[in-house]
Every structure is written in C-alpha cells, then in structure tokens.
C-alpha cells in the first residue's frame, strides 16, 4: 500500500507513534510518505525515508498562518502525484480537518485519524474546535484511538457517528534493550514528559523530596521541556533537593538515559495511554503511575509497578519508598514490565491491526 503519515514532528507521543508506525509499515514493504512541517525528531535517526514538508509561506495579511488549508492542499497534491491509497493523521487537531478537506477535493485516498489524547480529552472539548472537529472525524473512512478509556471518553463527550477502533500504542523492544544497565548504588527515578499541567510533574518533586530526606542514595531524572519545568526546578530548590535532581530537557535518545534509571514515574491527571511509560517498561523499568485515563491499561498494579490516585503525593512517596527499599521486588516488577511490553505491545501484535484496517477501508 502507499500510505501518507501526517504527524507533529516534535517529541510528543503522537509524533513518535506516527513516525514509528510509518517506519514499521515501511519495514513491511509499504511505501510510506511522512508529511509534517519539519522532519519528525525520531525520523532524524533514520536514513531511508520519504519526507514532504508542509511549507508555510508568510503573507503580510496573515497574523496567523492558515496551516489547515496549506496541509490540505499538500495532501491533495500528494495523493494525485503519488497515488496514495491511505492518508493517516495523528492527533486530530487540525489534521482531521485537513484530511477531510483533502478528501472533499479529490476523494481518492481513504482517510483515517488516530485520536491520541489531549486533542480530544482537552483541546477538542472547547467550542473553538468542537463542531468542525466532530464533523471532520465523522466524515472519515476510519478512526482509531490508543486506549479503551480514550474511546469511551470520546463516545461520552462528542456526537460521534463513526465507530472508533482501539489500537494500542506499541514499542519495539529491540530499540530499548540494546543498552546494558550499569551496576550502581543509587536508586534513580525518572520522568519523561512535556511538563504540561495535565502531567502533574510537580507531584513527583514533592513525593521525591519526602524520600530524599530519608535516603542518600536516591536521584531523580526529569526529562523534557514544557510550561511547568521551571516551577519544578524552583520547587526542587525550595525543598532543598536540587542536588538530587537532574533536569535534562528534551532528548532524542531516551533509551540511553532510561538505561541508567530504575523506576519510571508518571502521575498524570489525564493520560490517554502513556507511551513514555511503555518505553520505560520495554527497558525493564517498573512504573509508578496514576490511575488516570488509559494508564491502568498499560501499568498493572503490583505486577509491573504501582498505580496511585492522581494528586495523592503520599501514596506516590509510599511506593517510591517500596521501590527504594526492596530491590528484589523492583527487579521483579521491571522484568514483568519488559515481558508485558513484549507480549501485549510488540509491533508484531499492533501493526497488523493497522494493516487490516487499511485493507478493510480500501476494499470498501
Ligand atoms: O498530550 C500529550 O502529552 C502529547 C500527546 C501527543 O499526542 O503528542 O500524547 C498523547 O498521545 C500519546 C501517544 O498516543 C499518549 O501516549 C499520551 O498518553 C497522550 N497524552 C495525553 O493523553 C495527555
């Protein structure tokens, strides 16, 4: 099949999933065209790919550049030039509307969108987006989303006429198990996110402070950029634990840092799936997550880590404590995490689900 993948080029989960999906499809012999406003971060690690840039021209009249129509026009052109069978958008705003416009204008390629998370559990709820977003999605050939929780949320909060198929995110264990873990005394906690409010990153600093007061051999790695990163840094200073926390900014090679860490922490308020947690699991790392959104579909309480209520800092600290004190349990949970990542979220299990959906809508 000839497939166009439309995604954000940044470190965000939808960008990563779109890129990794395209690469997996390419491996399986499909012709994949990556379409974005710059080369997606993860694609920069690859050599063999077709990329089309959404070229946003300036015009004196425009205070805001009309991305949606520019992307739609490019999609129209690419479908005609390359005879694409499928256009697959990741993150519904505004990609779903560009896809629908492209379909209206030439109606040749089948269009499919994957709803990833904040596009619909946060942003899309606003009337500034909602009516056109829903209309665009209802006119798709297929819709997918990344967890059962996210599907239910969309069904409950939008007037959806189109069915949504749940296809979980995936991780290639080979990419994450290459690097050997060094032997070390410290217990290292790690958080990877875009530091938006919804991630509740400051809760980690607060819980970690409780444990850092009791134990010397603990450290926290905070990876990523975003609105609450500075607040987390200020908090670390005011709680007197600045020397035990490293803020690293966005990293291209996350596995490299993950291999030095022992426990992943993701205490989000809302989280449709938690790809960062899954990548940690593939690295033999147990996870402390919140009981929010689709996270419990990924992290199993007392099997691959611990699940706490969002905002419960004491519970977060309690399980950090368990992870520090009980190395045997920590390793057992880590091993079970890698096992679960391989058994449930392996590309060989997930990619065929996308392939059969593509086939189904083409044949229709
Ligand atoms: O909202 C974000 O954190 C970024 C967002 C994205 O689309 O870039 O991530 C969402 O999609 C990921 C990939 O499917 C999921 O793993 C994340 O859980 C989800 N984020 C939220 O729901 C907050």
Residue 163 shares a structural domain with residue 254: no
Q: Is 114 in the pocket of ligand 1 (CB under 6 A)?
A: no
- Give me the residues paired with residue 221 across strands: 190, 246
pTM for this entry: 0.95
- The finding on whether 235 has its CB within 6 A of some atom of ligand 1 is no
Rounded CA gap, 150 and 164, in Å? 10
Q: Do 258 and 359 fall into the same domain?
A: no
**CB-CB neighbours of 263 under 10 Å:** 26
Q: Which residue's CA is minimally distant from atom 14 of ligand 1?
A: 116
CA of 115 to the centre of ligand 1 (A): 9
Q: Judge whether residue 178 has pLDDT over 70.
A: no
**pLDDT tens column, 286-343:** 999 999 999 999 999 999 999 999 999 999 999 999 999 999 999 999 999 999 999 9
Same domain, 123 and 216: no
Reported as a pLDDT band with limits 50, 70 and 90, residue 42 is: confident
The answer on pLDDT for 183 being more than 90 is no
Over range 145-152, report the average pLDDT.
98
Q: Does ligand 1 have an atom closer than 6 angstroms to the CB of 146?
A: yes
Report how far residue 22's alpha carbon sits from residue 42's, in angstroms, rounded to the nearest whole number.
Answer: 11
**CA nearest ligand 1 atom 1, residue:** 118
Q: Which residue has the higher pLDDT, 62 or 212?
A: 212
Is residue 364 within 8 A of residue 141, CB to CB? The reply is: yes
| Same domain, residue pair 138 and 25 | yes
Whether 13 lines ligand 1, by a CB cut-off of 6 Å, is yes
pLDDT band per the 50, 70, 90 thresholds, residue 221: very high
Same domain, 34 and 94: yes
Looking at the fold, whether 141 and 252 belong to one and the same domain comes out as no
From 17, 191, 273, the mutation candidate for ligand 1 (largest count of ligand atoms within 8 A of CB) is 273
**In this structure, are 19 and 93 located in the same domain?**
yes
Number of structural domains (the chain) is 2
Residues 157 and 188 in one domain: no
Residue 14 Cβ inside 6 Å of ligand 1? The answer reads: yes
- Find the CATH number of the domain harbouring 70: 3.40.50.2000
- Separation in Å, CA 210 to CA 93, 195, 307: 40, 21, 18
Assess whether 129 and 220 both reside in one domain.
Answer: no
Q: Within this chain, do residues 128 and 180 fall inside the same structural domain, yes or no?
A: no
- Mutating to test ligand 1, I would choose from 21, 117, 170 the residue with most ligand atoms within 8 A of its C-beta, which is 117
Q: 252 C-alpha to center of ligand 1: Å?
A: 17
Expressed as residue numbers, the domain containing 352 is 2-170+346-363
Q: Both 155 and 193 in a single domain?
A: no
C-alpha–C-alpha distance, residues 311 and 269, integer Å: 8
SS3 assignment for the chain: CEEEEECCCCCCHHHHHHHHHHHHHHHCCCEEEEEECCCCHHHHHCCCCEEEECCCCCCCCCCCCCHHHHHHHHHHHHHHHHCCCEEEEECHHHHHHHHHHHHHHHCCCEEEEEECCHHHHCHHHCCCCHHHHHHHHHCCCEEEECCHHHHHHHHHHCCCCCCEEECCCCCCHHHHHCCCCCCCCCEEEEEECCCCHHHCHHHHHHHHHHHHHHCCCEEEEEEECCCCHHHHHHHHHHCCCHHHEEEEECCCCHHHHHCCCCEEEECCCCCCCCHHHHHHHHCCCCEEEECCCCHHHHCCECCCEEEECCCCHHHHHHHHHHHHHCHHHHHHHHHHHHHHHHHHCCHHHHHHHHHHHHHHHHHC
Over residues 177-183, the mean pLDDT reads 67
Indicate if ligand 1 lies below 6 Å from the C-beta of 18. Answer: no
Tokens 């974005």 — which residue? Answer: 36
310 lines ligand 1 (CB under 6 A): no
Atom nearest to 271 CA in ligand 1: 22
- For ligand 1, is residue 94 a contact (CB within 6 Å)? no
Ligand 1: residue of 9, 14, 124 to mutate (most ligand atoms within 8 A of CB) is 14
Q: Ligand 1 pocket, 153 CB below 6 A?
A: no
Looking at residue 304, its pLDDT comes to 98
pLDDT reading at 180 higher than 70 = no
Q: Is 89 in the pocket of ligand 1 (CB under 6 A)?
A: no
d(CA 351, CA 345): 10
Residue 12 Cβ inside 6 Å of ligand 1? The answer reads yes
pLDDT digits over 51-95, tens only?
Answer: 999 998 888 998 888 999 999 999 999 999 999 999 999 999 999
Q: Is 198 in the pocket of ligand 1 (CB under 6 A)?
A: yes
Ligand 1: distance of its center to the CA of 275 in Å? 7
Asked whether 93 lines ligand 1 (CB < 6 A), one says no
Torsion of CA 141, 154, 163, 3, to 10 degrees: 30
pLDDT at 176: 77
Atom of ligand 1 nearest to the CA of 15: 8
Is the CB–ligand 1 distance for residue 347 below 6 Å? no
Nearest to 187 by CA among 163, 210, 212, 169: 212
Task: Report the Cα–Cα distance between both ends of the chain, in Å, rounded.
Answer: 15
Same domain, 358 and 264: no
């Amino acid at each position: 099949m000839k497939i166009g993948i439309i995604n954000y080029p940044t470190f965000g989960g939808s960008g990563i999933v779109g890129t990794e999906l395209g690469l997996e499809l390419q491996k399986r012999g499909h012709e994949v065209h990556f379409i974005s406003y710059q080369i997606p971060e993860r694609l920069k690690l690859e050599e063999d790919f077709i990329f089309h840039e959404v070229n946003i021209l300036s015009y004196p009249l425009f205070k805001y550049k009309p991305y949606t129509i520019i992307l739609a026009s490019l999609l129209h052109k690419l479908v005609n030039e390359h005879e694409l069978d499928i256009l697959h958008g990741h993150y519904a705003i505004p990609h779903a509307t560009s896809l629908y416009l492209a379909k209206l204008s030439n109606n040749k390629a089948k269009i499919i969108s994957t709803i990833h998370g904040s596009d619909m559990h946060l942003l899309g709820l606003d009337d500034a987006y909602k009516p056109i977003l829903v209309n665009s999605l209802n006119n798709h050939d297929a819709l997918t989303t990344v967890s059962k929780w996210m599907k239910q949320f969309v069904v409950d909060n939008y007037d959806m006429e189109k069915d949504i198929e749940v296809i979980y995110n995936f991780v290639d264990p080979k990419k994450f198990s290459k690097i050997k873990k060094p032997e070390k005394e410290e217990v290292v906690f790690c958080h990877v996110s875009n530091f938006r409010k919804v991630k509740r990153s400051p809760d980690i600093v607060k819980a970690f402070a409780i444990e850092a007061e009791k134990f010397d051999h603990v450290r926290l790695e905070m990876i990523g950029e975003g609105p609450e990163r500075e607040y987390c840094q200020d908090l670390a200073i005011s709680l007197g634990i600045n020397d035990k926390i490293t803020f690293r900014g966005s990293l291209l090679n996350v596995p490299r840092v993950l291999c030095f860490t022992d426990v992943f922490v993701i205490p989000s308020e809302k989280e449709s799936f938690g790809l960062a947690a899954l990548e940690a699991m593939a690295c033999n790392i147990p996870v402390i997550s919140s009981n929010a959104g689709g996270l419990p579909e990924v992290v199993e309480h007392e099997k691959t880590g611990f699940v706490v209520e969002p905002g419960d800092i004491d519970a977060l600290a309690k399980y950090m404590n368990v992870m520090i004190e009980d190395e045997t349990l920590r390793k057992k949970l880590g091993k079970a995490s890698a096992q679960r990542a391989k058994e449930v979220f392996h590309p060989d299990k997930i990619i065929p689900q996308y392939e059969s959906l593509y086939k189904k809508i083409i044949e229709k």
